[in-house]
Amino acid sequence: MTTIKSFLLASALTAFGGIVMAQDLAPLNSDEEPDRMDWSELTERFGDLPKPTEGTQIGGVSKALTNEYWRSLGEGYKNMTDAQGVGLAYQAAPSEGDQLGQLSIAENMILQGYQGLLVSPQTDNNLQPAMETAASRGIAVVNVNDAVIPSATQYVGNVQRDNGVRVAQWFIDNRPGGGKVAAIEGQPGVFAAGQRTDGFTTTITEAGNFQVVASVPANWSREQAYDAASTILQQHPDLIGFYANNDGMALGVVEAVKAANLQEQVSVFGTDGIPDAYASIRAGDLTGTVDSFPVLTGEVAMEVVLRLLAGQGIPRVVATPQALITADNVADYSVEDSTALREKLLAE
């Protein structure tokens, strides 16, 4: 089996304006990587996006299209490729647990000769063999949210730990009396899940008057989150809140809270900002979500890979925006037009 070490010893990746030696790069921590820039600075620093070479084909490898987030990310890819006259194939494994299926998709795209790949790995290492093959062929690869391949030369996505920090701060500000809370984690061993959970549990514990009574994985599954939340509520009927690592799981938690008739007591937050989460907030069920603007993230990621193919030296991490959405501001962020959303975020 290909290992991270073997990839780090691979010869090189022709990614932009020269050769990036993988062995010269430390394992990537996308939240803390110093070689980074904000998405809003791309045009200012590098100028308008150069016209792509005719016939450019980009492959997008997603986790699973059963999750609305990844469908929205693909929409962002398509927005940019349509605007630039670039070919796009966007594919995903049948489920978020089909690691070999996702690897097979990536390897097939490499064999088909795509010039660039945008990959959203199911785990931090399941696409490692494809990364090694892509490196040997000079294919530009961008790791796009939320698992992080340690040897990735380019990453586009938000600060994962900050998702949990923002939710913890809401509890600190809005529940001054403190109380018991719980976290519903994503898939164990995935960078984003670990960072989001740690941001929440560490921040809220440091406040001094909150107790994290449970932090359990639900593997990005709405059904597993419902079961986990139901058990936690039985064990801790005085619980005041949940933080789930994605919106699908958060909506499962909402169902469990309703079944226990604890809507007035228990606040529930998710992560991602999918349309179903917005609808649930407007309905008064989900308390909030941390929106990471998947359509915009997809557009930015596609822009980055096209700039790499044009020979531009983009920093290793391009950070994309996020915002805590609650009933107080849900109307402000219910912006479907991508251009209008960009303008709003740039004005903040």
Closest listed residue to residue 225, CA positions, set 198, 262, 261, 187: 187
Return the pLDDT at 16.
37
DSSP character string of 270-289 = EEE--HHHHHHHHTTSS-EE
Backbone φ, ψ for residue 241 (5° rounding): -170, 155
More confident of the two residues 23 and 122: 122
Return the pLDDT at 25.
82
pLDDT tens track for 217-250:
999 999 999 999 999 999 999 999 999 999 999 9
Tell me the C-alpha distance between 187 and 122, whole Å: 9
Return the pLDDT at 338.
81
Q: Say yes or no: domain 4-156+294-320 is CATH 3.40.50.2300.
A: yes
Looking at the predicted structure, is the pLDDT value of residue 190 above 80?
Answer: yes
> Mean pLDDT throughout 16-31?
66
More confident of the two residues 260 and 10: 260
Domain definitions of the chain by residue range: 4-156+294-320, 160-291
Return the pLDDT at 339.
87
> Mean pLDDT throughout 254-276?
97
With cut-offs at 50, 70 and 90, classify the pLDDT of residue 22: low
- Of all residues in the chain, the percent with pLDDT exceeding 90 is 87
Cβ(307)–Cβ(326) under 8 Å? no
Tokens of 306: 């096209």
Looking at the predicted structure, is the pLDDT value of residue 109 above 50?
Answer: yes
pLDDT tens track for 293-308:
999 999 999 999 999 9
With cut-offs at 50, 70 and 90, classify the pLDDT of residue 14: very low
Tell me the C-alpha distance between 127 and 142, whole Å: 12
Cβ(146)–Cβ(190) under 8 Å? yes
- Of all residues in the chain, the percent with pLDDT exceeding 70 is 93
With cut-offs at 50, 70 and 90, classify the pLDDT of residue 28: very high
> Mean pLDDT throughout 79-98?
96
Looking at the predicted structure, is the pLDDT value of residue 204 above 90?
Answer: yes
Closest listed residue to residue 116, CA positions, set 146, 143, 149: 143
CA 74 to chain centre: 13
For the chain, what is the mean pLDDT?
A: 92
Return the pLDDT at 179.
98
Q: What architecture is the 160-291 domain classified under in CATH?
A: 3-Layer(aba) Sandwich (3.40)
Q: Report the 10 Å Cβ neighbour count for 312.
A: 18
Looking at the predicted structure, is the pLDDT value of residue 3 above 90?
Answer: no
Tell me the C-alpha distance between 150 and 27, whole Å: 4
Stretch (H or E) spanning 324? strand 323-326
Tokens of 152: 């990735």
Return the pLDDT at 24.
67
